[in-house]
Structure 1
Amino acid sequence: MDKLKLRASIQAARAAIPDGARHAASTQIRESLLDQPWVQMAGLVACYWSTGAEPATHGLVLALWKHGATVILPVLRDDNDLDWAVYDGPDTLAPGRFGIMEPIDTRRGVDAVRTAALVIVPALAVDRSTGVRLGRGGGSYDRALARVGPNVPTVALLHEGELLDGVPAEPHDLPVRYAATPEGIFRTGTAGPA
């Protein structure tokens, strides 16, 4: 299946998830992540503010911030690259391009993600064996992932059934090391849970 068909199929499946089930799944993902020592020890976390039918990150961002992590969220630039700014509580967000909530703090630059100890990204699907993620097609997160060090945990948040045995990939598509689903956290390239 090509990327466009797979994107459309996953987006349709996500739209059909009832709100209650979506909320429960997001809560499971958040709690599984917060139980991981490598999440608990991350002093600077790059995350994102979820929209639509994505697994919700609002509670995760708030929990990380309340537990003392510095959380940076993306600010979409005109060239579709990601700048970053510090989240300092729910009252420090404002709608950005396309209505996505962004921090109103000083922009830290596209390279700010290099200093993160944990990077959490959106995805529509992740290939179980390679870690290649299927995004929405803009390339923003592939550019950000290219700036992340090789030993930094990178995690894509997925709904059930979105960790797949095969995702179409192009040379610019970059892998993530983990996929977090309602069933648990899986290290890509392995057969089971992280």
Structure 2
Amino acid sequence: MAEHGSGDRSSREPLDGGPAERAKAALRARLLDARRALTPPQRAQAAEKLCGHVLQWARDQRSGPACAYLPIGAEPGSVALLDGLRAAGRPVLLPVVPARPGPLDWAPYRGPGSLGPGPLGLREPTTARLGPDALRTAALVLVPALAADRAGHRLGRGGGYYDRTLGAAAAGTPLLALLHDGELIDDVPVDVHDRPVTGVAMPTPGIVVTGNNARG
């Protein structure tokens, strides 16, 4: 959701200050520096490739809504991806940050005109809120991340919103983290509250399955 500084999804305190959180903080800093170094043409090219991979992958998923997110700054993804999902006949739900720390709310995305200013410097849907349980209706979930590993461990911004949210997804729902090339790494520090993803999408290799479904 903006190149996160003043407008950051992760404005609250870390979930704990243990070794895993300290390791995550150092890894986040390195990954954010690498993202900031990407030029606008590099970001645009990555977004275009990622859009193609995800739209093709989504065609093979069961019918139903896609819970997605609106990228900001150098975050992977694009409005074109959201519009492409809608053009393929798939409803798109976007997150709404709650007033207090807790699971994300969701609301329908109906094109750029359905967006308005939200907290933390983000844009959010202006459509009716559906509540956190709307995630249970999703046929697929696109998740923001700074990195992931092949076990499916995901590094987020540190706000904990998605860790509080993803547990509500129906069993078997694919959870796909969108990454830049090079952000699928050997090992992501893990805490007990962390929620894994089932796959990642990157501009060059495309879709990579993670966790128990990974092969090799």
The TM-score, its normalising length taken from structure 1, stands at: 0.93
Shift, 1:191, TM fit:
5.1
- State the shift of 1:101 in Å: 1.0
How many angstroms does 1:41 deviate by?
4.3
CA RMSD between the two structures: 1.5
Shift of 1:98: 1.3
Which of 139, 143, 147 lines up with 1:117 in the alignment?
A: 139
CA distance in structure 2 between the aligned counterparts of 1:182 and 1:33, rounded to whole angstroms: 10
Partner of 1:36: helix, strand, or coil? helix
CA distance in 1, matches of 2:60, 2:123: 23
In structure 2, do the counterparts of structure 1 residues 108 and 26 end up closer, same or farther at CA, with 3 Å as the change threshold?
same
Q: Note closer, same or farther for the CA distance 1:11–1:99 as it changes in structure 2 (3 Å cut).
A: same
State the Cα distance separating 1:65 from its structure 2 match: 1.1
Structure 2: give runs of 5+ residues left out of the alignment. 1-21
Deviation at 1:40, TM superposition (A): 5.8
Q: C-alpha displacement at 1:95, in angstroms? A: 1.1
**Number of residue pairs aligned between Structure 1 and Structure 2:** 191
For the pair 1:127 / 2:149, whether they are aligned, the reply is yes
Q: Which has the higher strand share?
A: 1
1:79 aligns to 2:95 (yes or no): no
1:113 aligned partner, one-letter code: L
Given that residues 156 and 178 in structure 1 are in contact (C-alpha distance below 8 angstroms), is that contact kept between their aligned partners in structure 2?
yes
Corresponding position: 1:176 with 2:187: no
* Distance in structure 1 (CA, Å) of the matches to 2:65 and 2:210: 23
Choose the corresponding residue for 1:68, options 86, 89, 113: 89
Instruction: Determine which of 53, 78, 93 is the counterpart of 1:32.
Output: 53
- Code of the residue aligned with 1:16 in structure 2: it is A
Task: Check whether the contact 1:134–1:167 (CA below 8 A) recurs between aligned residues.
Answer: yes
Conserved 8 A contact 2:67-2:138: yes
TM-score (norm 2): 0.84
Asked if the contact 1:126–1:164 (Cα under 8 Å) also holds between the matched residues in 2, the reply is: yes
Which runs of 5 or more residues in structure 1 are unaligned? none
Contact in 1 for aligned 2:64/2:137 (Cα 8 Å): no
Match of 1:164 among 165, 170, 185: 185
Deviation at 1:158, TM superposition (A): 0.2
